[in-house]
Amino acid sequence: MRSKIPTHQLDHSFSKFEGGNSHIVIADFDDQSKIFDRQYPHRHNYYEIFILQESSGVHYIDFEAYPFSGAVIFLTAPEQVHQLMRDKGGYGYSIQFEEDFFNKNSDADTGLFSHFLFDHFQAHPVISINETELNKLKTLLSLSLEEYKTDRMGCSSLISAYVRIILMEILRIRKEQFQEHHLQVGPQQQQLLRFKQLLNAQFSSKHEVQDYAEQLKITPRQLNALCKQFLDKQASQVIKDRILLETKRLITINTLSIKEIGYELGFEDSAYFSRFFKQGTGMTAQEFKKSIIKTPV
C-alpha cells in the first residue's frame, strides 16, 4: 500500500529509556507570536498528550471535528488520522511515548489509561480544562521536564512515574467533567478492555459477536449486555463501527480501490461491502472520498 498521509515516528534520539526499551519524549514550547497555516493530516506511531495553555481552533481526529478554545488537552493514539488547526500560537507541553509504556506496567490503573484515555470507542480526545486543573498539570509537567533534562541516577524511572501520575490526573479530570463514574477498575472493565483488544487485532477477519464471545468465554448475550452497559451500543454495532473507521482510514490514506479495501477487511463480496459502507455512513465510498477532499480529516 502507498500511504498518502505521512506517519510521524517517535524520535528516539530525544527519548529517555525506561528499562532499556521504553521511549518517552517530553517537551515544552512557546509559539504564541505565530499565526499558523493549516496543518496537514498525519498520523503517529506513538501516543501523545498535547496540552495548550491558551489557544483556539479545531482538531480533526478520525473524521470528527473537535472545536476548542482556552486551555485544552489533546490525546491521540497510534494510527489516528488527525489535523490540528490553530488560529494562533500558544504555550504548552507535549509528552510522547510508545505502546510498551502500557505493556511494561501491568497494574490495573495503567490498563485504564490506555483503555479509556486513548480509546477509539468511547474517547474524549479533546478535553477543555479550567485554571485550577491547568495549574496542577503544569506543576507535574514542570517536574517531569526538569527530570527529563537531567541524566541523574534513576531519572528514567522518575519520568515514567511522572507520566503515569499525569495520566491519572487527566483520567480524574475526564471522569469528573463527563460524569463517567463507571471509569474504574473491575472485572467487567477488564473484560471490556479484553474485547476491545481482540477487536482491534481481529476486526479484519472476525465480524461476528460470537467470534469474540467465544474467546472471552462468555455468551453473545453477555457480551451485548457488557457493551450496552458501558458503550450504549450492541456488540455488533461496536464491531461495525470499528470496521467502518478502518475503511475510512484506508480510503483516506491509500490508493486501494473499494473492492481491494473490502478484501483487506475480510469482505469477499465487493457489492455487499459497498452496501455495508453506505448503510453505516449514509454515503458511498466515492462520496466519502470526495467529502474528505473538501474538508479536513
CA separation, residue 43 to residues 63, 77, 81, 249, 297 (Å): 13, 9, 5, 11, 11
For residue 295, what pLDDT is reported?
61
159 vs 100, residue with greater confidence: 159
d(CA 250, CA 181): 35
Indicate whether 211 pLDDT > 60.
yes
For residue 74, what pLDDT is reported?
95
pTM: 0.81
Q: How confident is the model at residue 209 (pLDDT cuts 50, 70, 90)?
A: very high
**Among 13-17, 22-26, 275-279, the range of highest mean pLDDT:** 275-279
**Ordered domains of the chain (ranges, CATH):** 7-177 (2.60.120.280), 187-294 (1.10.10.60)
Query: Cell for 2?
Result: 502507498
For residue 182, what pLDDT is reported?
58
Residues 92-124: tens digit of each pLDDT: 999 999 888 887 655 666 666 676 788 766 668
Indicate whether 255 pLDDT > 90.
no
Average pLDDT, the chain: 85
For residue 218, what pLDDT is reported?
97
